[in-house]
Amino acid sequence: MRRPSPPVVVAIVVLILIAGVGLWWWLRPRGDSPIVLHGNVDIRQISLAFKVSERIAEMRVEEGDHVARGQVLATLESTSLGLRLAQAQAQVAVQNEVLRRLQAGNRPQEIAQADANMRAAEADARVARQTLERLRAISQGTGGRAVSREELDQAAANAKAADAKVDAVRKAHELSVAGAREEDIAQARAQRDAAQAESALAKQALEDAQLKAPIDAVVRSRMLEPGDMASPQRPVYALAVIHPKWVRAYVSEANLSRIKPGQPARVTTDSAPDRPVDGRIGYIASVAEFTPKNVETEDLRTSLVYEVRVNVDDPDDRLRLGMPATVVLPGSVAAKP
């Protein structure tokens, strides 16, 4: 039996080694292989509009400017708003005086005048009664002048009218001493409160003439200019929130069990592949979906994937909205059967 020639032996050994290496490569544990995801940078946006309708007086920032929380970005013409506030404050002062007058009651001089009117009415009533009694005595006596029936009736009517006047003046005196009714005071107080509310609204409208940044952000777009008519329905600026930022990516079902919230990640972009940004997984969707058309993965586009948001730390503000990004997660990829 002939021995195989050396080249044949070498070829057989090489084939065996290749097969062994291939089998090891196929069956090896892949615990150190990273998970690579592809996605886009996503950030929150804010559309800012004035709460009142008025012409814009000043626009203070431009696209790309960094703004701080509470910074004034634009102002409105405030002449008419200031006049409304002054009018409302004057109405508050009027209602305050009305309420004070009702609560204080009548002045001592007014009470003294009512008392004097009551005494005068009582004196007139006494005179009228005395006149009636005298005429009756004359008509019943003898040797005196005759008193007609008309004179007696007139005297009796005068006495009744004087008594009625006394009652009316006495009631007026009691009202003067008692002062305003509780219902009138309550009404005046309610009108005062309504005027104060109108004043507060006017003051708030004047404060709203300044458009302020609600959070630290970057001006993404400027939609209006000085002289334009602003309203709550017309945004003036669009702001991009600096923090937080995240990369919206998608992970296949095979790798879903190998990631978890809080897992560290490295994010790179095509513009700066050698300057990765640190991040962590912040959200993993619980419902699968078909891969969006704008996402590039190594799997088929019809495969089911899960949305993942990777929160990133970008103090230098290098990531922009919609920028393609690559996410590298330390982990393992399941061995194929």
CATH number assigned to the domain comprising residue 335 = 2.40.30.170
> Which residues share a beta bridge with 59?
74
Counting the structural domains of the chain, the total is 2
Q: Which of 203, 233, 255 delimits the end of a domain?
A: 203
Give the relative orientation of helices 182-207 and 79-104 as an angle to the nearest 10 degrees. 160
Say yes or no: 224 and 193 in one domain.
Answer: no
Say yes or no: 139 and 241 in one domain.
Answer: no
Q: Which residue type occupies 1?
A: M
pLDDT value at position 167? 80
Q: Which of 203, 227, 259 delimits the end of a domain?
A: 203
> What is the C-alpha separation between 61 and 285, in angstroms, rounded?
38
Say yes or no: 226 and 329 in one domain.
Answer: yes
Q: Which residues contact 105 (CB under 8 A, 6 or more apart)?
A: 178, 179, 180
Q: Which of 203, 227, 244 delimits the end of a domain?
A: 203
Whether 20 maps to a domain, the answer reads no
pLDDT value at position 177? 64
Say yes or no: 185 and 230 in one domain.
Answer: no
Say yes or no: 191 and 222 in one domain.
Answer: no
Give the relative orientation of helices 108-140 and 149-178 as an angle to the nearest 10 degrees. 160
Whether 13 maps to a domain, the answer reads no
- 301 φ/ψ angles, rounded to the nearest 5 degrees: -70, -20
Length of the chain: 337
Whether 133 maps to a domain, the answer reads yes
Say yes or no: 320 and 225 in one domain.
Answer: yes
Whether 329 maps to a domain, the answer reads yes
pLDDT value at position 8? 64
Whether 16 maps to a domain, the answer reads no
Whether 327 maps to a domain, the answer reads yes
Expressed as residue numbers, the domain containing 60 is 29-77+210-337
Say yes or no: 337 and 214 in one domain.
Answer: yes
pLDDT value at position 321? 81
pLDDT value at position 132? 77
Say yes or no: 117 and 220 in one domain.
Answer: no
pLDDT value at position 209? 93
Enter the tokens of residue 158.
């005068």
Whether 230 maps to a domain, the answer reads yes
pLDDT value at position 200? 93
Whether 155 maps to a domain, the answer reads yes
pTM of the model: 0.58
Closest to 57 (Cα-Cα) out of 82, 88, 85: 82
Say yes or no: 253 and 109 in one domain.
Answer: no
Say yes or no: 222 and 302 in one domain.
Answer: yes
* pLDDT one digit per residue (tens) for the chain, 337 residues: 555 566 766 677 777 777 776 666 555 555 557 888 888 888 888 999 999 999 999 999 999 899 999 999 999 999 999 999 999 999 999 988 888 877 766 667 766 777 778 778 888 788 878 887 877 777 776 555 567 778 777 878 888 888 788 788 777 766 666 566 778 778 888 999 999 999 999 999 999 999 999 999 989 999 999 999 999 999 999 998 888 888 998 888 878 888 888 889 989 888 888 888 888 998 888 887 776 655 555 554 446 788 889 999 887 878 888 889 899 988 644 433 3
pLDDT value at position 201? 92
> What is the CA angle 280-241-69, rounded to 5?
120
Residue 36: exposure state from Cβ atoms within 10 A (0-12, 13-18, ≥19)? middle
Say yes or no: 94 and 183 in one domain.
Answer: yes
pLDDT value at position 194? 92
Say yes or no: 189 and 271 in one domain.
Answer: no
> What is the C-alpha separation between 253 and 303, in angstroms, rounded?
9
